[in-house]
Amino acid sequence: MDNRPIGVFDSGLGGLTAVKELVRVLPGERILYFGDTGRVPYGTRSRETLIRYTREDIAFLSSQGVKRILIACGTASTVLDAIDPDPLIPVSGVLYAASRRAVAATKNGRIGLIATASSIRSGLYEKIISSLLPSAEVVSRATPLLVPLIEAGRIHPGDVVCETVVREYLAPIRDAGVDVLILGCTHYPIIRGIIAAEMGSGVTLIDAGAAAVEEVKTSLENADALSDGRDPGVSFFVTDFPEGFAAVGSMFLGSEIAGRTVKIDLSEKFTAH
């Protein structure tokens, strides 16, 4: 048994979909969520900048006494190989979990992927999937307009703008005959219904955050590191504009988080060198 909290971070709001899943599958756990809202977006940053940001995010959560860290950000997960975290605090991202689930789900070996420009540019999904299923064909596309649309609340079926953008992005992936589509950014499950309608019933959608959460759950169970369930709940930390985070974050979580968000300054104490 381990009553320390689980740490989760993202560049902003998207990781809240993973938090929502964590609360669902591990309702007895205490969760600390950190959104780097002062430096969002990560999706357009260089690899060097991403490594620095990710190290600093991990350093902050480690300072809070967490037992495990989930990088609920597809972009930051692409630099996990370059991070040297505290060996006593396991750190995992979303890429491997999503890739494993996609390989297990595909029947024809054609896997679609939508993600940020940095995630696509890294080529890591293709590398991981190829190592698991050498015959697989990955059809990927960067979808940079989806995050701002989602954060602007353009998320409901029937929203002409969102549906038009989704249709344009997904057309070449759908036409390639994929039978699995990885939602490689944790924002995307918010518009899962719109994406599913565009891809059709024959395509399995893989939520990268949910896949990673399931592996975190299994890992904690195997290590006998679940909490006793006496102090569950979620605490929120951001680097800028907590009021805006709370307003939009409530939409992501499906519950009100106003008044529960603390602003912190990474430069004062938690910067990783």
Q: Which residue has the higher pLDDT, 114 or 241?
A: 114
- Options 115, 166, 185, 257, the catalytic residue: 185
Same fold, 6-93+211-269 and 95-208: yes
For residues 109 and 179, give the distance between their C-alpha atoms in angstroms, rounded to a whole number.
8
pLDDT score for 217: 98
Residue 267 has pLDDT above 90, yes or no: no
Region of 233 please: left (phi>0), alpha (psi -120 to 50) or beta. left
- Taking alpha carbons only, the member of 154, 147, 157, 219 closest to residue 183 is 147
Strand order in the sheet with 110-115: 137-142, 110-115, 180-183, 204-207
Mean pLDDT, range 174-197, rounded to an integer: 97
Highest mean pLDDT among 153-157, 235-239, 250-254: 235-239
Ranking 32-36, 43-47, 203-207, 215-219 by mean pLDDT, the lowest is: 43-47
* The pLDDT of residue 271: 46
Which run of H or E residues covers position 137? strand 137-142
Q: Give the Cα separation of 15 and 57 in Å (integer).
A: 13
User: Which pLDDT score is estimated for 143?
Assistant: 96
CB 237 within 8 A of CB 33: yes
Among the ranges given (7-16, 196-205, 247-256), the one the predictor scored with the smallest mean pLDDT: 247-256
4, 234, 100, 55 alpha-carbon torsion, rounded to 10°: -70
User: How far lies 160's CA from each of 121, 165, 196, in Å?
Assistant: 29, 9, 16
| pTM, rounded to two decimals | 0.92
Q: Is 109 left (phi over 0), alpha (psi -120 to 50) or beta?
A: left
Q: Provide the pLDDT for residue 269.
A: 60
The Cβ of residue 67 has, within 10 Å, a number of other Cβ atoms equal to: 20
> Structural domain boundaries of the chain?
6-93+211-269, 95-208
Give the chain's radius of gyration (CA, Å): 18
Which of 92, 94, 100 is closest to 67 using CA atoms?
92
pLDDT, mean of residues 67-90: 91
Q: Token pair 């491997």 is at which residue?
A: 96
Q: Which of the residues 66, 73, 139, 195 is marked catalytic? A: 73
Task: Output phi, psi for 148, to 5 deg.
Answer: -65, -35
User: How many C-beta atoms lie closer than 10 Å to residue 232's C-beta?
Assistant: 14
Fold of 95-208: Rossmann fold (3.40.50)
Summarize pLDDT for 127-165 with one digit per residue, the tens. Answer: 999 999 999 999 999 999 999 899 888 999 999 999 999
pLDDT at residue 272 greater than cutoff 70: no
The yes-or-no answer on residue 73 being catalytic is yes
On the question of pLDDT at 106 being above 90, the answer is yes
Does 185 qualify as catalytic in the annotation? yes
Looking at residue 54, its pLDDT comes to 95
pLDDT interval class at 88 (50, 70, 90) = confident
129 CA to centre of own chain: 18
What is the chain's mean pLDDT, rounded?
A: 93
What whole-number percentage of the chain has pLDDT above 70?
97
| Topology (CATH) of 6-93+211-269 | Rossmann fold (3.40.50)
**Could you tell me the CA-to-CA distances from 39 to 57, 75, 79, 193 in Å, in that order?**
11, 13, 17, 29
